[in-house]
Amino acid sequence: LAVTVRKARNLRVRKEASSGQPGDCYVRLAMENDDRRVHTTSVKKKTNNPNFDEKFCFQIATASLESQTLLMTVFHVDKQKRQKAIGHVAYPLRELLSVDKDCRIFRDLDSEAGDVYLRVSMHTGLQGKEVKSKRTETVGHSSAFNQSLIFNRVADLSQTIIKVTMMHHATGIGSLFDKPLGSVVLGCELFAKRRELEHWREMSANPEQTITYWHSLCAAAV
Protein backbone atom coordinates (compact mmCIF):
# COMPACT_ATOMS: atom_id res chain seq x y z
CA LEU A 1 0.00 0.00 0.00
CA ALA A 2 1.49 3.34 -1.08
CA VAL A 3 0.22 6.42 0.74
CA THR A 4 1.14 9.96 -0.31
CA VAL A 5 0.44 12.78 2.13
CA ARG A 6 -0.16 15.80 -0.09
CA LYS A 7 -1.20 18.74 2.05
CA ALA A 8 -3.36 20.07 4.87
CA ARG A 9 -5.31 23.30 4.98
CA ASN A 10 -6.56 25.61 7.72
CA LEU A 11 -5.03 23.65 10.58
CA ARG A 12 -5.70 25.02 14.03
CA VAL A 13 -2.02 25.34 14.84
CA ARG A 14 -1.38 27.40 17.95
CA LYS A 15 0.54 30.62 17.32
CA GLU A 16 3.84 31.15 19.09
CA ALA A 17 3.55 33.89 21.69
CA SER A 18 6.93 35.41 20.85
CA SER A 19 6.41 35.77 17.09
CA GLY A 20 2.66 35.55 16.55
CA GLN A 21 3.32 33.03 13.76
CA PRO A 22 1.82 29.53 13.52
CA GLY A 23 3.84 26.75 15.11
CA ASP A 24 5.37 23.71 13.42
CA CYS A 25 3.43 20.57 12.47
CA TYR A 26 3.82 17.08 11.04
CA VAL A 27 1.68 14.02 10.26
CA ARG A 28 2.04 10.59 11.85
CA LEU A 29 0.75 7.59 9.88
CA ALA A 30 0.14 4.21 11.48
CA MET A 31 -1.92 1.08 11.15
CA GLU A 32 -4.39 0.78 14.00
CA ASN A 33 -3.11 -1.47 16.82
CA ASP A 34 0.18 -2.16 15.04
CA ASP A 35 3.29 -0.38 16.32
CA ARG A 36 5.46 -1.96 13.61
CA ARG A 37 3.90 0.14 10.86
CA VAL A 38 4.54 3.78 11.70
CA HIS A 39 5.72 6.62 9.45
CA THR A 40 6.06 10.37 10.02
CA THR A 41 6.34 13.24 7.59
CA SER A 42 8.95 15.93 7.87
CA VAL A 43 8.14 18.84 10.19
CA LYS A 44 6.76 21.89 8.40
CA LYS A 45 7.76 25.20 9.93
CA LYS A 46 5.44 28.03 10.95
CA THR A 47 2.39 27.22 8.83
CA ASN A 48 -1.21 26.11 9.15
CA ASN A 49 -1.35 25.23 5.43
CA PRO A 50 1.52 22.74 5.06
CA ASN A 51 2.47 21.03 1.80
CA PHE A 52 4.06 17.61 2.37
CA ASP A 53 4.04 15.59 -0.89
CA GLU A 54 5.70 12.67 0.88
CA LYS A 55 5.15 9.02 -0.01
CA PHE A 56 5.12 6.08 2.42
CA CYS A 57 4.75 2.34 1.86
CA PHE A 58 3.01 -0.19 4.09
CA GLN A 59 3.48 -3.92 3.51
CA ILE A 60 -0.10 -5.20 3.67
CA ALA A 61 -1.58 -8.25 2.00
CA THR A 62 -4.66 -7.56 -0.12
CA ALA A 63 -6.56 -10.20 1.83
CA SER A 64 -6.08 -8.23 5.06
CA LEU A 65 -7.29 -4.84 3.77
CA GLU A 66 -10.78 -5.32 5.18
CA SER A 67 -9.44 -5.60 8.73
CA GLN A 68 -6.96 -2.70 8.64
CA THR A 69 -7.47 0.99 9.39
CA LEU A 70 -5.00 3.74 8.53
CA LEU A 71 -4.66 6.39 11.24
CA MET A 72 -3.27 9.81 10.34
CA THR A 73 -2.67 12.23 13.20
CA VAL A 74 -1.52 15.84 12.84
CA PHE A 75 0.77 17.07 15.61
CA HIS A 76 1.71 20.60 16.63
CA VAL A 77 5.30 21.07 17.83
CA ASP A 78 6.12 24.09 19.98
CA LYS A 79 9.48 25.80 20.53
CA GLN A 80 10.22 23.47 23.46
CA LYS A 81 9.70 20.47 21.13
CA ARG A 82 6.55 19.48 22.99
CA GLN A 83 4.02 17.71 20.78
CA LYS A 84 0.24 17.96 20.89
CA ALA A 85 -2.26 16.30 18.59
CA ILE A 86 -4.42 18.72 16.62
CA GLY A 87 -6.72 16.11 15.12
CA HIS A 88 -6.82 12.79 13.34
CA VAL A 89 -8.33 10.85 10.45
CA ALA A 90 -9.19 7.15 10.59
CA TYR A 91 -9.54 5.57 7.13
CA PRO A 92 -10.75 1.94 6.92
CA LEU A 93 -8.76 0.30 4.14
CA ARG A 94 -11.75 -1.81 3.09
CA GLU A 95 -12.96 1.35 1.33
CA LEU A 96 -10.07 0.95 -1.12
CA LEU A 97 -11.69 -2.19 -2.50
CA SER A 98 -14.44 -0.10 -4.11
CA VAL A 99 -12.36 2.76 -5.56
CA ASP A 100 -9.85 3.19 -8.37
CA LYS A 101 -6.37 1.80 -7.88
CA ASP A 102 -4.93 5.32 -7.70
CA CYS A 103 -7.25 7.63 -5.80
CA ARG A 104 -7.15 10.92 -3.94
CA ILE A 105 -8.87 11.12 -0.58
CA PHE A 106 -9.77 14.31 1.27
CA ARG A 107 -10.88 14.19 4.89
CA ASP A 108 -11.66 16.72 7.63
CA LEU A 109 -9.80 16.16 10.87
CA ASP A 110 -11.67 14.87 13.88
CA SER A 111 -10.68 17.34 16.59
CA GLU A 112 -8.93 16.32 19.80
CA ALA A 113 -10.54 17.71 22.93
CA GLY A 114 -10.30 17.28 26.67
CA ASP A 115 -7.41 16.85 29.10
CA VAL A 116 -6.06 13.47 30.14
CA TYR A 117 -3.25 11.95 32.18
CA LEU A 118 -1.93 8.45 32.82
CA ARG A 119 -2.05 6.84 36.25
CA VAL A 120 0.52 4.05 36.62
CA SER A 121 0.20 1.71 39.60
CA MET A 122 2.13 -1.31 40.86
CA HIS A 123 0.23 -4.21 42.43
CA THR A 124 1.60 -7.33 44.15
CA GLY A 125 0.23 -10.62 45.42
CA LEU A 126 -2.57 -12.79 44.12
CA GLN A 127 -5.10 -10.24 45.41
CA GLY A 128 -3.42 -7.46 43.45
CA LYS A 129 -2.78 -5.12 46.39
CA GLU A 130 -1.66 -1.67 45.21
CA VAL A 131 1.72 -0.78 46.68
CA LYS A 132 2.69 2.29 44.67
CA SER A 133 1.15 4.64 42.12
CA LYS A 134 2.37 7.60 40.10
CA ARG A 135 0.90 9.80 37.39
CA THR A 136 2.00 11.84 34.45
CA GLU A 137 1.30 15.50 33.92
CA THR A 138 -2.09 16.44 32.50
CA VAL A 139 -1.99 17.00 28.75
CA GLY A 140 -4.40 17.49 25.87
CA HIS A 141 -6.30 14.47 24.59
CA SER A 142 -4.13 12.18 22.42
CA SER A 143 -0.98 14.19 23.16
CA ALA A 144 2.45 12.64 23.54
CA PHE A 145 3.44 12.30 27.20
CA ASN A 146 7.21 11.66 26.86
CA GLN A 147 7.57 11.26 30.63
CA SER A 148 9.40 8.65 32.71
CA LEU A 149 7.94 7.21 35.92
CA ILE A 150 10.38 5.20 38.03
CA PHE A 151 9.44 2.32 40.35
CA ASN A 152 11.77 0.24 42.51
CA ARG A 153 11.98 -3.28 41.12
CA VAL A 154 10.48 -5.93 43.39
CA ALA A 155 12.11 -9.30 44.03
CA ASP A 156 9.19 -11.47 42.87
CA LEU A 157 7.96 -10.39 39.46
CA SER A 158 5.76 -13.48 39.17
CA GLN A 159 3.16 -11.85 41.44
CA THR A 160 3.56 -8.26 40.30
CA ILE A 161 1.57 -6.27 37.76
CA ILE A 162 1.77 -2.77 36.34
CA LYS A 163 -1.57 -1.16 35.55
CA VAL A 164 -1.70 1.87 33.26
CA THR A 165 -4.98 3.82 33.35
CA MET A 166 -5.88 6.79 31.18
CA MET A 167 -7.81 9.33 33.24
CA HIS A 168 -10.03 12.18 32.08
CA HIS A 169 -9.23 15.29 34.09
CA ALA A 170 -12.21 17.12 35.59
CA THR A 171 -10.97 20.69 35.14
CA GLY A 172 -11.63 23.01 38.04
CA ILE A 173 -13.49 20.63 40.36
CA GLY A 174 -10.71 18.51 41.83
CA SER A 175 -9.11 15.17 41.04
CA LEU A 176 -11.76 13.23 43.00
CA PHE A 177 -14.04 13.68 39.99
CA ASP A 178 -11.51 12.44 37.42
CA LYS A 179 -12.85 9.42 35.52
CA PRO A 180 -10.99 6.42 34.07
CA LEU A 181 -11.26 6.09 30.30
CA GLY A 182 -9.52 2.75 29.92
CA SER A 183 -6.58 0.72 31.15
CA VAL A 184 -4.04 -1.95 30.28
CA VAL A 185 -2.39 -4.47 32.62
CA LEU A 186 1.17 -5.75 32.16
CA GLY A 187 2.24 -8.83 34.10
CA CYS A 188 2.91 -12.56 34.04
CA GLU A 189 0.54 -15.18 32.62
CA LEU A 190 -1.56 -15.12 35.81
CA PHE A 191 -2.62 -11.54 35.11
CA ALA A 192 -1.98 -10.71 31.45
CA LYS A 193 -2.20 -12.29 28.01
CA ARG A 194 -1.22 -11.77 24.39
CA ARG A 195 0.71 -8.53 23.76
CA GLU A 196 0.60 -7.43 27.40
CA LEU A 197 2.21 -10.72 28.49
CA GLU A 198 4.72 -10.57 25.64
CA HIS A 199 5.69 -7.02 26.62
CA TRP A 200 6.10 -8.02 30.29
CA ARG A 201 8.32 -10.98 29.44
CA GLU A 202 10.55 -8.90 27.19
CA MET A 203 10.87 -6.16 29.83
CA SER A 204 11.69 -8.72 32.53
CA ALA A 205 14.36 -10.32 30.36
CA ASN A 206 15.97 -6.96 29.48
CA PRO A 207 15.84 -4.81 32.65
CA GLU A 208 18.44 -2.32 31.39
CA GLN A 209 16.67 -1.62 28.10
CA THR A 210 13.67 0.49 27.12
CA ILE A 211 11.09 -1.86 25.59
CA THR A 212 8.38 -0.08 23.60
CA TYR A 213 5.00 -1.56 22.64
CA TRP A 214 1.64 -0.15 21.59
CA HIS A 215 -1.37 -1.41 23.54
CA SER A 216 -5.13 -1.08 23.21
CA LEU A 217 -6.93 0.15 26.32
CA CYS A 218 -9.67 -1.98 27.81
CA ALA A 219 -12.82 0.01 28.49
CA ALA A 220 -13.19 1.24 32.05
CA ALA A 221 -15.91 -0.33 34.18
CA VAL A 222 -19.00 1.87 34.60
Mean pLDDT of 192-215: 90
pLDDT band at residue 100 using 50, 70 and 90 as cut-offs = low
Q: Tens of pLDDT along 204-220?
A: 888 888 998 988 888 76
Residues near 166 by beta carbon (within 8 Å), at least 6 away in sequence: 116, 117, 118, 119, 180, 181, 182, 183, 217
What is the spatial distance between Cα 80 and Cα 77, in angstroms, rounded to a whole number? 8
Residue pair 77/23 in contact (Cβ under 8 Å)? The answer is yes
pTM above 0.85, yes or no: no
* Residue ranges of domains in the chain: 2-111, 115-219
The CATH number of domain 2-111, selected from 3.40.190.10, 1.10.3720.10, 2.60.120.920, 2.60.40.150: 2.60.40.150
Strand partners, 219: 182
Q: Tens of pLDDT along 154-178?
A: 777 888 899 999 887 755 444 555 7
Mean pLDDT of 65-92: 85
Class of domain 115-219: mainly beta
